[in-house]
Amino acid sequence: MSAVSTSAQPPLQEHGGGDAKADRKLRQVREVGILLALVLLVVATTIVNPNFLSAQSVRDLLLGATLLTILAVGQTLVIVTRSVDLSVGSILGLSAFAVGSLFAAFPTMPVPVAIIAGVLVGTVCGAVNGALVALARVPALVVTLGTLYIFRGIDYWWASGKQINASDMPSAFLGMGRASVLGIPVLALVAVLVVAVVGWYLTSYRSGRELYAIGSEPAAARLSGIPVDRRIFMAFVANGTLAGLAGVLYAARFGTLDATVGTGLELQVVAAAVVGGVAIFGGSGTVLGAALGAVLLTTIGSALPILRVSGFWQQAVVGLLILTAIGLDRVLAVRAERKLRGGQSRGA
């Protein structure tokens, strides 16, 4: 889908050569903006109900945001290369069910082995997507829409009506979903670690920065010698792996697994990334932004019942938030562009 934006207005060189500084500033404005929204929401909710900031409730909030954050980080890797992965919900479901089935079949299986196996399920799914997109050169939206159905179908077929219950899994594994360090849930720490590592990779490694180059200008990236196909392939593999990890954590946290786990999650994940300022057409956006987007969406979900707003409003609010976020990105980008052009006025 082409962005009309770019036909109606001059293209925005978000990651061109000379505007790195301006762009960084833009990103910061954007991230501070989400943070501000988040703080406002928490403060407002706490005023209505002081319990919202109790230790228990903050723990719940962090736990709730964990899975979406990890998925949004993975999705960011893919989106900055101007692709998208719609199959993450199905990958999460498949890997969660794989972990549960492993434990159900081999109750004595060591926990780390099962975790690795679950993550690897995600890696394999990601590699399938990556191979189709990067090597067979077919559009990511179509491929991952296809694999969304395929992976889910495999999950249904595998589960065939069975359910894995908490009692099928060892308490050491489930304990992982409940444990805290200094009052912070372990799962949330895993998410923080994922954000830190991936964020660091994207900014500090040449191959990480090349992902942005690919997303901004694929043809130029190819000409300048970047191994585009390999980078895109690896982005999908990494995203699949993270979705697999999220599946494992889902199993540890929720304990009850059937074939429908993670259905429909893909659009939430894309929404979190978009709210977090990741440009849907690639080349721009940070992992931190996407993570903040995920936390904001989750917090809205928990805050609405406490604010006594009918849960029915939740989706509508999320929709408005997405539209606001992309609108805001547009405004900021246009402004930055204008500044770069020395305040030249132009018709928009």
Partner 1 sequence: MAPEVTAPSSGQGAPFGPDRAPRGGTLRRLLATREASVLGALVVTVILASFWVDGFFTDRTAGFLILDVTAIALIALPMTLIVITGEIDLSVASILGLTSAVMGQLWFLGLPLETIVPLCLALGAVLGAINGLLVTVAGLPSLAVTIGTMALYRGLAYVILGDRAVADFPRSWTSGATQRLGETAIPWVVLLIAALAVVFGIVLHATPIGRSLYAIGSNDEAARFAGISVRMTKLWLFVASGAVSALAGVFWTLQYSSARADNAFGLELSVVAAVLLGGVSIFGGLGALPGVIGGVLLLGTIRKALELADVSSDTLSVVTGLLLVISVVAPNIVARLKERRRPDTPSVPAHSNQR
Partner 2 sequence: MFRTRLARGIAAGTAAGALLLLTACGGTTRDSVEEGGSERPAGEADPDAEIPEGLTISFLPKQLNNPYSTFANTGGAEAVEELNGEFKEVGPSEASASSQVSYINTVSQQGADAIVIAANDPNAVCAALNSASDAGAAIVSYDSDTAPECRDVFINQASAEGIAKTQVEMIVEQVDGEGQIAFLSATPNATNQNAWLELMEEELAKPEYSDIEVVDTVYGNDDDQKSFQEMQGLLQTYPDLKGVVSPTTVGIAAAARYVSDSEYKGKVAVTGLGTPNQMSEYVKNGTVEEFALWNPKDLGYLAGYAGAALSAGQITGAEGETFSAGRLGDYEIGPNSEVILGPPTKFNADNIDDFDF
Structure token pair of residue 14: 């978000």
- Indicate which single residue of 30, 281, 299, 300 sits in contact with partner 1 (rule: CB under 8 A): 281
Q: Of partner 2, partner 1, none, which one sits near residue 295, judging by CB under 5 to 8 A according to partner kind?
A: none
Residue 16 to residues 5, 20, 197, 200, 283, Cα–Cα distance (Å)? 18, 7, 25, 21, 10
Residue 67 to residues 39, 82, 167, 252, 340, Cα–Cα distance (Å)? 21, 23, 22, 11, 38
Nearer to partner 2, 250 or 281 (CB): 250
How many whole angstroms separate alpha carbon 233 and alpha carbon 57? 39
How many whole angstroms separate alpha carbon 208 and alpha carbon 211? 5
φ, ψ of residue 184 to 5 degrees: the values are -100, 130
Regarding 259 and contact with partner 2 (CB under 8 A), the answer is: yes
Task: Label the pairing between strands 180-181 and 184-185.
Answer: antiparallel
Q: Shortest Cβ distance from residue 188 to partner 1 (Å)?
A: 25
Q: Tokens 């392939």 belong to which residue?
A: 233
How many whole angstroms separate alpha carbon 164 and alpha carbon 101? 7
Regarding 159 and contact with partner 2 (CB under 8 A), the answer is: yes
Provide the mask over 36-75, with x wherever binding to partner 1 is found by CB under 8 A and - wherever it is not: ----------------------------------------
Q: Of partner 2, partner 1, none, which one sits near residue 241, judging by CB under 5 to 8 A according to partner kind?
A: none
Q: Shortest Cβ distance from residue 152 to partner 2 (Å)?
A: 8
- Indicate which single residue of 57, 131, 145, 230 sits in contact with partner 2 (rule: CB under 8 A): 57
H and E: helices and strands count for the chain: 14, 2
Contact assessment for residue 197 and residue 203, using Cβ atoms and an 8 Å cutoff: no
Q: Of partner 2, partner 1, none, which one sits near residue 132, judging by CB under 5 to 8 A according to partner kind?
A: partner 1
φ, ψ of residue 49 to 5 degrees: the values are -145, 100
Q: Of partner 1, partner 2, none, which one sits near residue 167, judging by CB under 5 to 8 A according to partner kind?
A: partner 2
Q: Of partner 1, partner 2, none, which one sits near residue 162, judging by CB under 5 to 8 A according to partner kind?
A: partner 2
Residues near 322 by Cβ (< 8 Å), separated by ≥ 6? Answer: 271, 274, 275
Nearer to partner 2, 160 or 344 (CB): 160
SS3 at position 338:
helix
Q: Of partner 2, partner 1, none, which one sits near residue 146, judging by CB under 5 to 8 A according to partner kind?
A: partner 1
Regarding 298 and contact with partner 1 (CB under 8 A), the answer is: no
Regarding 317 and contact with partner 1 (CB under 8 A), the answer is: yes
Binding site for partner 2 (CB under 8 A): 49, 51-52, 54, 56-57, 60, 64, 156, 159-163, 165-167, 178, 254-256, 258-260, 263, 301-302, 305-306, 311
